Chains A and B, each alone.
Chain A
Amino acid sequence: MTVLSADALLEIRDLKTWFPIRTGVLKRVSGHVRAVDGVDLTIFPGETLALVGESGCGKTTVGRAILRLLEPTGGNVWFRGQNLTGLSLEAFHPYRRQIQVVMQDPGSALDPRHTVRDCIAEGMDAFEIGAGYEDRTRRVAELMGKVSLDPETMWRYPHEFSGGQRQRICIARALALDPALLICDEATSALDVSIQAQILNLLADLQAERRLTYLFITHDLGTVRYFATRVAVMYLGRIVETGPTERIFTDPRHPYTKALLASIPSLDPARRSTRPVALGDVPSPERPPPGCHYHPRCSVRLESCASVDPPVIAFADGVCRCVLAAK
């Protein structure tokens, strides 16, 4: 699994992020939450890779590990052929400019004491982009225009803006550094429907214009089908299926992917479509079930699924981690 694709922008190999569980007065480590447990993922330039899964599946942790916001327990992350995981924080610094993030809650992502001008210019200051204060202010105005905000409002504070406008500010701040990869972690989830459409259109425009690559982390499958080029489905710390968006939605291979798709409500009044296919609840990542993590909820499981780890089966257009997919 160490073969790297020459044309990949980002390669993740066997990424593990475990969090210690401490118990007792001495806070001894009694076990680990395997939030991310051996993830392989490749992102190609210019594409939108959607990383989907339910809460606690580890999708956000993957994003944070790429950004080095937390140190992975194991595995490697390559960016344009450079292994990022081995780098000191100083050596990593220039890569931070190329990988930016937009998070779910634009309210808490912006410092309330800074004007919008300073929020957007923050990264430019850190990376010494632009010739001094005046030049950066000019660039801020340009960026605000790009994300359809009135540049005249740059001296106001974030709380004076609506949720959708604050998300535009966050996007402008990320763009200020001219990144190659933008990680959108539930970037449209907290927004009202009418505002969500505006932000998705903005992201699509920016991608066309700047050949941006997106890692789109979300639980919203409707948005994924509309927006993503490829999809990776995660369940309890592992990738269970990857593939091109249309194939995933029309011909899913993994039983969990099938259950997720069956849970998307339709908007067609002629049919009510959701069927609760997955049984029971998502188990805690503290104690993932043995064998295939999905087996207790799976309606087509075999006896062996409870004890044997399913193999990762490679297809021409992606992978599937299920014994049944081999047939």
Chain B
Amino acid sequence: MGTPLLTVEDLSISFPGDGAHRVTVVDRVGFSISAGETLALVGESGCGKSMSALAIMRLVPKPGRIEPGARIAFEGRDLLTLPVPEMRSVRGARIGMIFQEPMTSLNPVTTVGSQVSEAIELHANISGEAARNRVLELFSLVGIPDPKSRYAAYPHQLSGGLKQRVMIAMAMAMRPKLLIADEPTTALDATIRAQILELLRDLSAKTGTAVLLITHDFGVVNEVADRVAVMYAGRIVEEGTRVELLGAPRHPYTQGLLRSIPKPEARGKRLEEIKGAVPRPGHWPQGCRFHPRCSSAFAPCATEEPARTVVSATQSARCHLVAKVVGEARP
């Protein structure tokens, strides 16, 4: 695999709470992505997955802050200590980002062509006709039909699927090494979602761009991810390849999530549910944060935070039960 393209270590993010107290929303998160690889960061709302992605771009909204001790290494440089102008050239040029709502990310009063062209002129030393040609080339790369006429279209004249394609074109404009996609298909219809997922898969294969995919949908994970990290209450609780996590999940939370998805063979039977609700930041339980909802919790779970247990060369989980089982298997 060589050196990873991106390595995140000990990333913690906090927001001001009552008085001097700060509320942690992301807690000592670490992961890495190799060139050309797609890593999915999965979890339910409020688990910290989007905030972790924003931290890579150094776009954590104020008054939130990244706690000291974190390191985000990208192409051999620590992004957290980079001077602002250099960070600006990383953003957009080396790392592209797309969001859930393409409607709110585009300027409604400028044509989509000139918006993408502007993004190119900002980072590359080209303008005018050359920039326009590059935009048209990008529009066909992302499968926008009839690029010439779409160049002059305003965002409201395009459907949701086309707007998302424009956003992807803009994010891919400078041939970034990493694309961060935050719930890129959540707001799209089923038939359009299938098109965009295929596009993301193709783009990554064609351009070698690595993708960090933020999603809550295991179906989407299965379609595009190579590796998966599952987040719960600010922490990564399990990590592994797509086949490992979907085929043989070890953490009770991952198992519960997968079982609670309505499946055809479950027709007429009760769905397995995870009892209770996701705890909000600031109200995380002691010990393993999942223990009050876990049906296999035992003695240490309520008091001790579980360490990371290595299950295979690629799979690991933060769970006392997994540690016990793996420990017993290795005499």
CB proximity of A80 to chain B, nearest CB, Å: 28
Interface status of A200 (Cβ within 8 A of chain B):
yes
CB proximity of A21 to chain B, nearest CB, Å: 15
- Which residues does chain B contribute within 8 Å of A198, judged by CB atoms? 273, 275
Interface status of A81 (Cβ within 8 A of chain B):
no
Residues A256-271 near B (CB distance < 8 A): 259-260, 262-270
- Which residues does chain B contribute within 8 Å of A277, judged by CB atoms? 191, 194
Interface status of B263 (Cβ within 8 A of chain A):
yes
Could you tell me if A164 and B162 are in contact, using CB atoms closer than 8 angstroms? no
| Contact digits for A222-264, partner B, Cβ 8 Å, 1 yes 0 no | 1101110000000000000000010001000000000110111
Q: Which of B160, B189, B193, B257 has the most CB of A within 10 A?
A: B189
Interface status of A54 (Cβ within 8 A of chain B):
yes
Interface status of B250 (Cβ within 8 A of chain A):
no
Which of B113-121, B124-132, B216-224, B313-321 binds A? B216-224
CB proximity of A325 to chain B, nearest CB, Å: 20
Could you tell me if B161 and A281 are in contact, using CB atoms closer than 8 angstroms? yes
Could you tell me if A193 and B191 are in contact, using CB atoms closer than 8 angstroms? no
Contact partner of A226 (CB less than 8 A), chosen from B246, B267, B275, is: B267
Could you tell me if A265 and B258 are in contact, using CB atoms closer than 8 angstroms? no
- Which residues does chain A contribute within 8 Å of B258, judged by CB atoms? 267
Interface status of A195 (Cβ within 8 A of chain B):
yes
Could you tell me if B257 and A194 are in contact, using CB atoms closer than 8 angstroms? yes
Contact partner of B194 (CB less than 8 A), chosen from A192, A222, A227, A274, is: A274
Contact partner of A282 (CB less than 8 A), chosen from B145, B189, B275, is: B189
Docked Cα-Cα span, A54 to B193, in Å, equals 11
Residues B148-205 near A (CB distance < 8 A): 159-162, 189-195, 197-198
Residues A181-226 near B (CB distance < 8 A): 192-198, 200-201, 204, 219, 221-223, 225-226
Residues B98-122 near A (CB distance < 8 A): none
Interface status of B302 (Cβ within 8 A of chain A):
no
Could you tell me if B216 and A193 are in contact, using CB atoms closer than 8 angstroms? yes
CB proximity of B125 to chain A, nearest CB, Å: 35
Docked Cα-Cα span, A204 to B262, in Å, equals 13
When A197-B272, A219-B189, A219-B190 are in contact, do A268 and B256 touch as well, CB less than 8 Å? no
Could you tell me if A222 and B191 are in contact, using CB atoms closer than 8 angstroms? no
Interface status of A280 (Cβ within 8 A of chain B):
yes
Interface status of B274 (Cβ within 8 A of chain A):
yes
Interface status of B311 (Cβ within 8 A of chain A):
no
Interface status of B85 (Cβ within 8 A of chain A):
no
CB proximity of B314 to chain A, nearest CB, Å: 13
- Which residues does chain A contribute within 8 Å of B246, judged by CB atoms? 267-269
CB proximity of A241 to chain B, nearest CB, Å: 15
| Contact digits for A271-290, partner B, Cβ 8 Å, 1 yes 0 no | 01111111011100000000
- Which residues does chain B contribute within 8 Å of A278, judged by CB atoms? 191, 194
Q: Which of A219, A262, A265 has the most CB of B within 10 A?
A: A265
When A54-B191, A226-B271 are in contact, do A269 and B222 touch as well, CB less than 8 Å? yes
Interface status of A165 (Cβ within 8 A of chain B):
yes
CB proximity of A180 to chain B, nearest CB, Å: 23
When A265-B219, A269-B246, A272-B222 are in contact, do A227 and B262 touch as well, CB less than 8 Å? yes
Docked Cα-Cα span, A288 to B216, in Å, equals 33
Could you tell me if A265 and B220 are in contact, using CB atoms closer than 8 angstroms? yes
Total chain A interface residues with beta-carbon distance under 8 A: 46
Interface status of A307 (Cβ within 8 A of chain B):
no
Docked Cα-Cα span, A194 to B274, in Å, equals 6
When A204-B270, A221-B190, A226-B264 are in contact, do A192 and B216 touch as well, CB less than 8 Å? yes
When A200-B262, A222-B261 are in contact, do A265 and B189 touch as well, CB less than 8 Å? no
Interface status of A5 (Cβ within 8 A of chain B):
no
Could you tell me if B266 and A266 are in contact, using CB atoms closer than 8 angstroms? no
Interface status of A304 (Cβ within 8 A of chain B):
no
Contact partner of B247 (CB less than 8 A), chosen from A259, A266, A269, is: A269
Interface status of A55 (Cβ within 8 A of chain B):
yes
Docked Cα-Cα span, A164 to B276, in Å, equals 9
| Contact digits for B23-67, partner A, Cβ 8 Å, 1 yes 0 no | 000000000000000000000110000000000000000000000
Contact partner of B266 (CB less than 8 A), chosen from A193, A221, A226, A270, is: A226
Interface status of A162 (Cβ within 8 A of chain B):
yes
- Which residues does chain A contribute within 8 Å of B260, judged by CB atoms? 193-194, 196-197
- Which residues does chain B contribute within 8 Å of A273, judged by CB atoms? 223
Nearest-neighbor residue (CB-CB) of B189 within chain A: A54
Could you tell me if A267 and B222 are in contact, using CB atoms closer than 8 angstroms? yes
Could you tell me if B194 and A275 are in contact, using CB atoms closer than 8 angstroms? yes
Could you tell me if B277 and A165 are in contact, using CB atoms closer than 8 angstroms? yes
Could you tell me if B197 and A223 are in contact, using CB atoms closer than 8 angstroms? no
Residues A46-104 near B (CB distance < 8 A): 54-55
Interface status of B242 (Cβ within 8 A of chain A):
yes
CB proximity of A136 to chain B, nearest CB, Å: 28
Nearest-neighbor residue (CB-CB) of A249 within chain B: B264
When A197-B262, A200-B262, A225-B267 are in contact, do A265 and B222 touch as well, CB less than 8 Å? yes
A-B contact pairs, 16 of them (CB 8 A): A165-B277, A192-B45, A192-B216, A194-B260, A195-B277, A196-B262, A197-B260, A198-B273, A226-B266, A226-B267, A249-B264, A269-B243, A269-B246, A269-B247, A270-B243, A278-B194
Q: What 3 A-B pairs are tightest by C-beta distance, nearest first?
A: A265-B219, A226-B262, A197-B260
* Given A260-B190, A265-B222, A267-B263, 4 additional A-B pairs, CB 8 A: A192-B278, A194-B278, A225-B264, A278-B191
